[in-house]
Amino acid sequence: MHKEKYDFSLKTKKKVWLEVGFGNGLHLVELAKRNSDKLIVGSEVYENGVATTCFSLFQNKIENARVFHGDARILLQSFEFEAVDRLYILFPDPWTKKRHKSRRLLSLANIEIFSKILKSKGAICIATDVEEYYLEIENAFSNLYQFERLHVSPKEKNLSFFLDIKTKYERKAINIGLLPSYLVYKKV
């Protein structure tokens, strides 16, 4: 019942913010609560996270959010050119084993797709607690002419782009002594 109400639809004149891999939906729900003038779209592959998020959206009477259950690549292909104003990728699976690194969400191929759906002057907001992944992300974006990193220390959370709440994986990282990196890239 709740899944149908919050199922994916992009018919809006509002600015569109997309969160890929929203997990249990804590960030997505809070983003929608604080930005009722925006359409918040989320994608998640795990059914329990989708169910939890849809129920939370229902409980909070949030109408400005849409949820896509499945592979984010399918959702990304459904967006029109320059349809998204802001994109969130928070603590994506780092796929730390060498044989799995090709599965990383922030690969050059996926960044090209993000670039196509992101509006000019739109932003990609990324957080990771894996230092090697952070360096790989920085290297990938530094070699792309269509993006510039906003000049903020990556170890400081820029509250102009990131919420003042902590996600599940952010709390986990901080609790074991890791210092997450927060990156914001603007499409030029």
Report the alpha-carbon angle 72-120-34, nearest 5.
65
Residue 93 designated active-site: yes
Average pLDDT by stretches of 10, the chain with 188 residues: 49 89 95 96 95 96 94 86 95 72 75 92 95 90 90 89 93 94 95
3-state secondary structure of 178: coil
Q: What is the pLDDT of residues 6-55, one digit of tens each?
A: 444 466 789 999 999 999 999 999 999 999 999 999 999 999 999 999 99
pLDDT at 6: 46
pTM of the prediction?
A: 0.90
Which member of 7, 93, 129, 164 is catalytic? 93
Between β-strands 15-20 and 38-44, what pairing exists: parallel, antiparallel or unpaired? parallel
> 184: which DSSP letter?
E
pLDDT at 93: 78
Domains defined along the chain, listed by start: 2-187 (3.40.50.150)
Between β-strands 84-90 and 65-69, what pairing exists: parallel, antiparallel or unpaired? unpaired
Distance CA 101, CA 107 (A): 9
What sections of the chain are H helices per DSSP?
Answer: 2-5, 26-34, 47-59, 72-78, 108-117, 131-142, 168-175
